[in-house]
Structure 1
Amino acid sequence: MIETCKAQQTDVIFSEFHDAVFYRIIDTLAPLIGDVEGEEVAQEALLKVFLLIQKNNSFDNFRESLFAMKPLAFVIAKNMALSRIRHKKVREKFHEIERLKQANASIKSIESTVINDHQTQLMLEAVNHLPPICRQVFIHRKLYGKSHTDIAQMLSISTKTVENHLAKGLKLCRQYIVKQHIKASSMEKKRA
């Protein structure tokens, strides 16, 4: 019965403390974190003060001890609000970094696609500049994956000739691509 009475008095005292401090804390925090978050922080700060007083004091001086902790309630609330602000900034920075990483990956993907398309286009141009028989041998071997023997039979030439046309085709394609890169580099230098 005595414990029930003390608990009821504690509730009444805390309610008075809450009424005296709660809205003042919200008014102080609202410019920093807004009303809704300010209410949450104020509630947590008051609870921390209440638990601290309840843990460290007897019931006899509970009221005086609790009301003496008004400044501590403001300090706790302010520190919690600043902590939330810092945490929010860290989260925002993390999300910004993630967005930049995704954007960068997307750009790299686009760049590699463009580079691959350009390289494929350049290779096709090089193959189209090959002499006709050399081009046929090169296409059948590199695109269709046919063996030297199959190509030799199809074109009625020896396997050694197939090998020679392949070597010549690779050499001419390489020369064409190098020539195109040199041409592109000289054009870029002229622009600069």
Structure 2
Amino acid sequence: MRTDLIDSELAVLLAQSSERAFREIYERNWKLCFLSARKRLNNEAEAEEIVQDIFCKLWRRRTSFTLTRSFENYFAVAVKFEVINQLARRSRRESYERQAASAYVDADSSMQETIDLQDLKTQLQASINRLPDKCRAVFRLRYEKNYSQLQIAETLHISEKTVEAHLSKARKTLKANFGAALGMLICFF
């Protein structure tokens, strides 16, 4: 494949499911996307994850994708919106962690004396072990190995939507058992 193709030619080939065209688009644009995301997020791992998500979404939408200007413009906008979404998720997570820590600190002092962190961790492990096999595997990869949803999907040969569903089910089940303390416990997990 020629590497001197212009963006519109690459977009046409991409719509025809050309992996070579996708690879060329990726190689031309990945670094700039990553640098832009890293600058805005100040976090390499988050930046890498959102850039990978952007390219995965592009591949999934390839047959219906229409390039209006250039890939540089497309990726600049995509990075901007993904960064905004990531910052919102980060803010929600930090808020939840503050609430969980506050709930834990505000708990009755006699209860704090009787329940120590190791007991909670043991209870958490037992609850995790009671999750269905796939759900437990997804949860462990996410929180023990710190895999992204894409990495989990690839490792377990399932879709990202299935990964999301398993994580949601695991959090819902564990939250029913641990309430506001779950966020703090997962940090220690």
Query: What's the TM-score, normalizing by structure 1?
Result: 0.43
Q: Which has the higher contact order (CA 8 A, sep 6+)?
A: 2
Greater helix share, structure number: 1
Query: What's the TM-score, normalizing by structure 2?
Result: 0.43
Structure with the greater alpha carbon radius of gyration: 1
